[in-house]
Amino acid sequence: MSSSNKIIECVPNFSEGRDQKVIDSISDAIRSVPGVRLLDVDPGASTNRTVYTFVGSPSTIVQGALAAARVAYQLIDMTKHKGSHPRMGALDVCPFVPVSGVSVSECVAVSREFGSQLAEELGVPVFLYGDASVKGDYRRTMPQIRAGEYEGLSDKLQQKEWEPDYGAATFVPRWGATVTGVRKFLIAYNINMIATKEQAHRIALNLRSQGRNDGKPGRLQHCQAIGWYLQEKNMAQISINLTDFDVTPIHLAYEEACKDAAEMQLAVTGSEVVGLVPLQSLIMAADYYIEKDKLFILEEEHKVQLAIHRLGLSQLSPFVPNDRIIEYCLSEGGGAERGVGPLGRGSVAQLVKGVAARTPAPGGGSVAATVAALGSALGAMVGQLTYGKRQWDALESRMRTCIPPLHDAAMMLLPAIDDDTDAFSDYMSACRLSSSTEPEKEVKAAAVQKAARTTVEVPLKVMRTVDGCWEALAQVASVGNINCKSDVQVGARCLETGSWGAYYNVIINLDNIEDKEEREAFKREAESLLQNATAQLKNVLDIAHKRTA
């Protein structure tokens, strides 16, 4: 996956919530970093603390955090700081949150890179917490590390067990210390009810992880909840924080609240998300309702709309996906073109002109991905022109099985049009790195091999995607709309041509990989996939040729 598809959220907490000039200066620093988007600024006067939320790629997110820290270093003086929130530094805590296309381990690496650069550049002590921690269980959580706060930090740094992970164990009065690490994405989610505050709170106690005061836990894990009443809306809400939506997704919280409300003869009228949400949280909700009601929905846009409708997310105010889903906010084309690069988003004329130009990229790899995408799309089209028509009602279940893999393959292959060009560009950039010293030679060699591997893996992924289409296409060819027979035939040819084109790109780039065993493994897989593509093309064409009705 390219770095443009990797999204990390950063939520730095700065110890200044009263001076608007300082708050704005930090905001401006974050906004100044290309590839970073500032989503929210939440100052608190009593806490004297401001929480910033911004998103970006693994590389840009670090630069955004460093830019903010540089300004804070100049403008915040911890010797004068007072506030109700526990704190130990000007940049008190800087968590990184995986949002899309990144793992916790990747975010750990990002947090450590940030901590190392912060300590080196500003000369301040930095501690790691959570999954990023390396010093033992006694210093994994924020309360453990922040114990004693700023006032006790000078003495704490003199203790061997509290030596910082980065930077010297030296007290910096104006700054204090910073903690950085990784946490899961938190979804702030409210469920709307026609009920009293007390009734809403009773349900909240049933759901939240800590349960009631009797020590018995509630039904949902990673769930914080209370009930309250909105006078301005004349309704109650169950206010929920979901700290791990992979374990407790929003649709589960909603359904469990509805269950309790029904038992109490109360009405749930909808819900709302506070702030932004990851796309996956809504797709999970849509998939739940699709399976529950045996629906047939393919398009991501339709899945998002289903989730919005079933959860009642637009009851209090319109839920606009391009403004509320993190991935869509960062995509130039919004939801429909998320993850697709400029070649894939452009017109056919632009792509053809680009290929015909006197440049090595876009080249055969991008063309192979384009042709393969068209082939799988044609198969999906024939399935769609069969599904839902009365004369082919008996084929509905078969089409529901055949269409998704063909449709999904087409969507997966669109980003590959740009991935091939990007891989070539990255390889050429690696080859141009300086190698005048031994350390530079080592860095260049590693970069070249990494980039070379990508130039093989990208077309190989195209071949794998094509390979996953043949069974479905054979089914469509055998029973699909006979009026689309030629479309099946063209689609099959396109898929095989795409596989051949990707194969040629694998083979020509193999020579750049130094590891012989790795080269041979790539070659064996490519040859096997190509052999199957050739056999499957013949099979699909034979099926289509024999059909007369």
Please tell me the pTM assigned to this model: 0.74
Element of type H or E holding 100: strand 91-100
For residues 249 and 222, is the Cβ–Cβ distance under 8 A? no
Instruction: Please indicate whether residue 420 is annotated as part of the active site.
Output: yes
Of the pLDDT bands very low, low, confident and very high (cuts 50, 70, 90), residue 17 is: very high
- Length of the chain as a residue count: 549
Q: Is the pLDDT of residue 337 over 70?
A: no
Class of residue 358 by CB neighbours under 10 A (exposed 0-12, middle 13-18, buried 19+): exposed
pLDDT for the residue 333: 54
Residue 348 shares a structural domain with residue 330: no
* Amino acid at the residue 263: E
Q: Is the pLDDT of residue 213 over 80?
A: no
Mean pLDDT of 205-212: 91
Question: Which of 128, 149, 182 lies at the terminal end of a domain, its last residue?
Answer: 182
The reported pLDDT for the residue numbered 322 is 86
Q: What is the mean pLDDT of residues 414-426?
A: 90
Is pLDDT at 60 greater than 90 in this prediction? Answer: yes
Q: Answer yes or no: do 193 and 323 share one domain.
A: yes
Residues 169, 202 share a domain: no
Predicted confidence (pLDDT) per residue in 454-475, tens digit: 999 999 999 999 999 999 999 9
| pLDDT level of residue 335 (50, 70, 90 thresholds) | low
| Higher per-residue confidence, 424 vs 527 | 527
If pLDDT is split at 50, 70 and 90, which confidence band does 184 have? confident
CATH number at residue 200: 3.30.70.670
Determine whether 85 is an active site residue: yes
- By DSSP bridging, strand 91-100 and strand 7-10 are antiparallel
Please pick, among 92, 260, 418, 420, the residue that the annotation labels catalytic.
420
Region 196-205: mean pLDDT is 94
The residues with which 193 forms a beta bridge, in sequence order, are 236, 268
Q: Are residues 80 and 224 in the same domain?
A: no
Domain count, the chain: 3
Q: Is the pLDDT of residue 1 over 60?
A: no
CA distances from 410 to 142, 308, 379, 406, 430 (A): 45, 25, 9, 6, 31
pLDDT grade for 127, boundaries at 50, 70 and 90 = very high
The residue among 182, 206, 234 that closes a domain is 182
For residues 178 and 213, state if they share a domain. no
Q: What average pLDDT score do residues 413-440 get?
A: 90
Quick one: pLDDT at residue 382? 95
* CA 285 distance to own-chain centroid: 16
| Catalytic position from the list 85, 287, 309, 408 | 85
Q: Give the strand pairing for 13-14 and 187-194.
A: unpaired
Task: Tell whether the model's pLDDT for residue 290 goes beyond 90.
Answer: yes
Residues 235 and 315 in one domain: yes
At 391 the pLDDT is: 86
Residues 360 and 491 in one domain: yes
> Tens digits of per-residue pLDDT, 246-267?
999 999 999 999 999 999 999 9
CB 398 within 8 A of CB 354: no
Domain region containing 146:
3-182
* Max mean pLDDT range (233-237, 369-373, 420-424): 369-373
User: Which of 321, 336, 351 delimits the end of a domain?
Assistant: 336
Provide the pLDDT confidence category of residue 334 given band limits of 50, 70 and 90. low
Distance in angstroms (rounded) separating the CA atoms of residues 111 and 258: 39
Q: Using CA atoms, how far apart are residues 129 and 308, in angstroms rounded to an integer?
A: 36
How high is the pLDDT of residue 393? 87
Examine the domain organization and report whether 314 and 357 are in the same domain.
no
In tens, the pLDDT along 384-414 reads 999 988 888 888 899 999 999 999 999 999 9
Place of tokens 């836990």: 217
Backbone angles phi, psi at 184, to 5 degrees: -75, 160
pLDDT at 549 over 80: no
Using an 8 Å Cβ cutoff, are 97 and 145 in contact? no
| Residue 3, pLDDT score | 46
Q: Are residues 38 and 120 in the same domain?
A: yes
Q: What pLDDT score was predicted for residue 172?
A: 95
Say if residue 142 is in the same domain as residue 277: no
What CATH number is associated with residue 414?
Answer: 1.20.120.680
255 with 324, same domain?
yes
Average pLDDT over the chain reads 91
Within this chain, do residues 381 and 294 fall inside the same structural domain, yes or no?
Answer: no
Average pLDDT over residues 119-129: 96
For the ranges 13-27, 162-176, 349-363, the lowest mean pLDDT is seen at 349-363
